[in-house]
């Protein structure tokens, strides 16, 4: 910021307009005209994030180190001395304990004013000690990054801090402790390639840049000009690297929602078992209608979508984006929130209601990135001990050439294996179409439910008719032969229950449809949550093991399951 008129007025570097200094400070250094986020120093950042009066700085006494006796235009110790005088800090990292809307947290903040927030032995030690403190106390860790990379004056010993801090984050993963990174501008080099991008959730401020190599280095190397938004938060969100972008005034509330869900595991809300009273488990109670009618009803664009159901059922929802490998598939949505009083991870396929929404969402057909995003969220649920609910409405996995190049088969297969072994309660609901392996990749769960006008099949009726009847007009006959409807699938034991839809179908009354789904889900989760992790996994595997099993093999499997439970 450029100062004018005795520090009363400032010139915003984002829009070039004059802004009143006091208004700028009250807005946590965010321009009220263009939203440009200026840098906060570490004390300012801690004051902005933590509840008033809750902050206690952690005393990490770390001796000075000049392992190389380094000197460029001046000796390294002299650079340190000047940085301390200029900033009032001992080093580039400040760590503290405190609370965010009452939720205990350990926070480590990098200050770019101190030698560019560079990763030194002292900074690496401070981050590691903060992580170890979080591990001892089982308290979530929030990292706020701003750095140019590893500190050159400490040579390869600075490089080793990348490994040290990364393994500290790994220990928090093993212990089930939530980690969150807030990326501020800029975050590069060794910090970006270690602890900054290993957190469970990565939130970026608008316009914040993150990358390993800097823009100038890349352009000089490849001799090409890069897009204007390259490495910005907006670019990274589109490419699946960060979970969300939040303006500064929304950071506290977003963190509070994440901390609330992560620190209140489903087991704490298990209570007494409650029957899933909204579910129909007797096929005879369901209307006997032609399956082709159900296919047409399942495809209606008036039906509630996954995001519609999340909006009506899941409170305090925080959507999380990206597969962390370069993509964010719009056909798959997911995040954390509360279903009634139970914190969950919810994942689903998203179609939409209009032609524009269908196009934007890839017609609800996930790419490999979509399945990998789902897998990342399921691993997060397993780490935090949260139940997983999946909502399925897809004609199938995306059939494009790019999907095949990016490993569609592998992505689906890995999800099937992952879901089979998740140590938390899992429930899938087919809310519309359940198309083949693309649907199954989200449906290897303890209980599989369907809405009464939903369908679930190995192939679309049209596809089956084209292959076997050589005539797509035979689709109604194929639908009947495939037994794609909820009544048939309940008889076959493929699903465990059916969620009744209101008169005229779920599209006629979204609120009533959501109410029935809420009752069904809460009932099933209350049945599952008292179970221990071993029982949850054994029961799920037994459920899918039985399909196509000979009777004598089934008896042997029941004995084996019982023995596993006794051993556990």
CATH of the domain at 448: 3.90.226.10
270, part of any domain: no
d(CA 428, CA 458): 17
**Could you give the count of Cα atoms lying within 13 Å of 113 in the half-sphere of its Cβ?**
18
Whether 371 and 495 map to the same domain: the answer is: yes
Is residue 106 a contact partner of residue 95, using CB atoms and an 8 Å limit?
yes
Total number of domains constituting the chain = 4
Whether 544 and 523 map to the same domain: the answer is: no
For the chain, give the mean pLDDT.
93
pLDDT value at residue 268:
45
Domain boundary among 235, 262, 289: 262
pLDDT tens string 372-403: 999 999 999 999 999 999 999 999 999 999 99
12 marked as binding residue: yes
89, part of any domain: yes
Residue 335: phi and psi, rounded to 5, are 170, -165
d(CA 446, CA 388): 10
Q: Per DSSP, what are the bridge partners of residue 455? A: 433, 485
d(CA 62, CA 82): 18
Q: Which of 283-287, 315-319, 558-562 has the lowest mean pLDDT?
A: 558-562
Give the containing element (helix H, strand E) for 177.
none
Whether 473 and 500 map to the same domain: the answer is: yes
Domain boundary among 262, 284, 310: 262
Parallel/antiparallel/unpaired status of strands 210-211 and 9-11: unpaired
Whether 381 and 296 map to the same domain: the answer is: yes
Helix (H, G, I), strand (E, B) or coil at 201: strand
Whether 25 and 44 map to the same domain: the answer is: no
Parallel/antiparallel/unpaired status of strands 56-57 and 179-188: unpaired
* Those residues with Cβ within 8 angstroms of residue 340's Cβ, 6 or more apart along the chain or in another chain: 518, 522
Residues spanned by the domain of 504: 276-529
| % the chain with pLDDT above 70 | 93
Q: Which of 32-36, 41-45, 95-99, 272-276 has the lowest mean pLDDT?
A: 272-276
pLDDT tens string 106-129: 999 999 999 999 999 999 999 999
Is residue 13 a contact partner of residue 37, using CB atoms and an 8 Å limit?
no
Q: Per DSSP, what are the bridge partners of residue 143? A: 108, 181
Whether 185 and 282 map to the same domain: the answer is: no
- For residue 267, name the pLDDT band (cuts at 50, 70, 90): very low
Whether 34 and 47 map to the same domain: the answer is: no
Whether 48 and 26 map to the same domain: the answer is: no
d(CA 361, CA 358): 5
Work out the average pLDDT over 246-271: 82
Whether 351 and 374 map to the same domain: the answer is: yes
pLDDT tens string 186-222: 999 999 999 999 999 999 999 999 999 999 999 999 9
Whether 67 and 7 map to the same domain: the answer is: no
Whether 376 and 517 map to the same domain: the answer is: yes
How far is the first Cα of the chain from the last one, in angstroms, to the nearest whole number? 62
- For residue 13, name the pLDDT band (cuts at 50, 70, 90): confident
Is residue 338 a contact partner of residue 316, using CB atoms and an 8 Å limit?
yes
Helix (H, G, I), strand (E, B) or coil at 501: coil
* Those residues with Cβ within 8 angstroms of residue 204's Cβ, 6 or more apart along the chain or in another chain: 182, 183, 184, 210, 233, 236, 237, 242, 244, 245, 246
């Amino acid at each position: 910021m450029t100062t004018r008129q005795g520090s009363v007025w400032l010139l915003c570097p984002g829009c070039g307009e004059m802004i009143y200094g006091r208004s700028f400070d009250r807005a946590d250094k965010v321009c009220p005209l263009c939203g440009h986020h200026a840098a906060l120093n570490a004390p300012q950042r801690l004051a902005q994030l933590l509840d008033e009066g809750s902050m206690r700085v952690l005393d990490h006494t770390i001796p000075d180190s000049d392992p190389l006796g380094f000197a460029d235009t001046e000796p390294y110790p002299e650079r340190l001395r000047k940085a301390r005088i200029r900033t009032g800090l001992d080093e580039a990292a400040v760590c503290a304990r405190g609370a965010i809307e009452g939720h205990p947290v350990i926070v480590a903040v990098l200050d770019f004013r101190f030698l560019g927030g560079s990763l030194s032995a002292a900074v690496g030690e401070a981050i590691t000690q903060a992580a170890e403190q979080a591990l001892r106390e089982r308290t979530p860790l929030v990292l706020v990054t701003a750095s140019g990379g590893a500190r050159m004056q400490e040579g390869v010993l600075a490089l080793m801090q990348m490994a040290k801090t990364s393994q500290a984050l790994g220990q928090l993963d093993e212990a089930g402790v939530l980690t969150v990174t807030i990326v501020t501008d800029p975050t590069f080099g060794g910090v970006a390639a270690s602890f900054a991008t290993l957190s469970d959730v990565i939130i970026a401020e608008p316009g914040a840049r993150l990358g390993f190599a800097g823009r100038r280095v890349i352009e000089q190397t490849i001799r090409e000009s890069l897009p204007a938004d390259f490495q910005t938060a907006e670019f990274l969100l589109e490419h699946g690297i960060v979970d969300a972008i939040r303006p500064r005034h929304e950071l506290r509330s977003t963190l509070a929602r994440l901390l609330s869900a992560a620190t209140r595991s489903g087991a704490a809300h298990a209570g007494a078992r409650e029957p899933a009273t909204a579910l129909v488990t007797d096929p005879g109670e369901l209307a006997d209608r032609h399956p082709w009618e159900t296919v047409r009803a399942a495809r209606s664009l008036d039906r509630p979508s996954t995001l519609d159901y999340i909006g009506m059922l899941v409170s305090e929802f925080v959507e999380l984006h990206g597969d962390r490998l370069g993509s964010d598939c719009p056909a798959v949505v997911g995040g954390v929130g509360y279903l009634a009083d139970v914190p969950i991870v919810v994942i689903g396929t998203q179609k939409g209601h209009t032609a524009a929404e269908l196009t934007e969402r890839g017609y609800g057909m996930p790419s490999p990135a979509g399945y990998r995003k789902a897998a990342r969220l399921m691993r997060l649920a397993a780490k935090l001990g949260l139940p997983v609910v999946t909502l399925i409405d897809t004609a199938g996995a995306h059939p494009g050439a790019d999907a095949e190049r990016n490993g569609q088969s592998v992505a689906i297969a890995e999800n099937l294996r992952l879901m089979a072994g998740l140590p938390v309660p899992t429930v899938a609901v087919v809310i519309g179409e359940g198309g083949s392996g693309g649907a199954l990749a989200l449906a290897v769960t303890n209980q599989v439910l369907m809405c009464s006008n939903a369908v679930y099949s190995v192939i679309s009726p049209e596809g089956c008719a084209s292959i076997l009847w050589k005539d797509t007009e035979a689709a109604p006959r194929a639908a009947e032969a495939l037994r794609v409807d909820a009544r048939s699938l309940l008889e076959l034991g493929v699903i465990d229950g059916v969620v009744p839809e209101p008169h005229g179908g779920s599209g006629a009354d979204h609120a009533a449809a959501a109410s029935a789904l809420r009752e069904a889900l809460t009932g099933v989760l209350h049945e599952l949550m008292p179970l221990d992790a071993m029982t949850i996994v054994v029961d799920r595997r037994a459920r899918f093991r039985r399909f196509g099993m000979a009777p004598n093999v089934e008896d042997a499997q029941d004995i084996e399951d019982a023995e596993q439970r006794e051993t556990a």
